[in-house]
Structure 1
Amino acid sequence: MRVIPLGPEASVGDFARYPGCRLAVTCAMCGWTKGYSPERIIHRLRELKAGGYTTPLAVVARRVQWPCPGCHRLKWRANLAWPPELTEAEAKRLAARARN
């Protein structure tokens, strides 16, 4: 996954500015990554009454409580990222669709 460079104040709701992106949860120790739908994450945070659109990505990473399948440790970070199969042309098409 290609990480979207965002500052430390980035929140889950920032996904709306990047159509087609995923929320990537990455192990800080070994680099194992899994992508999730940002809408699904927001829905789950609301179910748990633990946040929503304005929840910082760092808080989402701290809420992950399962061990990494690669190294079996619990040190996560969360970022917004483009999936590897998303081409630049497809990203532009999705941005135009969201804008119009």
Structure 2
Amino acid sequence: MFATPAFAQAAAPGGAAAFGQFLPLILIFVIMYFFLIRPQQKKMKEHRAMVDALRRGDQVVTQGGIVGKVAKVHEDGMLDVEIAEGVKVKVLRNTIVQVLSKTEPAAA
């Protein structure tokens, strides 16, 4: 007696219509992956490689803008950075933003 026309309609045939509705979402995710996620992962990988390659004598820049020379590399993720004659600061490895000049490894 009070049946609405929405209940009387038949379901859409086939699953192609459902896939067509999800296609824009899938495309947006793929585009975001290639333009946002993948480049960020690549940048993080390059930064990790740069930080792992730090050694004594490298001139570095920290996130705070401090420029100094690596005096000592600790195993616990810390560095002693000499910012002036006789002035050393302990910084975390991950706060190094850029390596200005690399020292050559000593020939064995």
| TMscore range, shorter length | under 0.3
Compare the two structures and name the one with the higher strand fraction.
2
Compare the two structures and name the one with the higher helix fraction.
2
TM-score by length of 1: 0.24
Question: Taking CA–CA contacts closer than 8 Å with sequence separation of 6 or more, which of the two structures ends up with the larger relative contact order?
Answer: 1
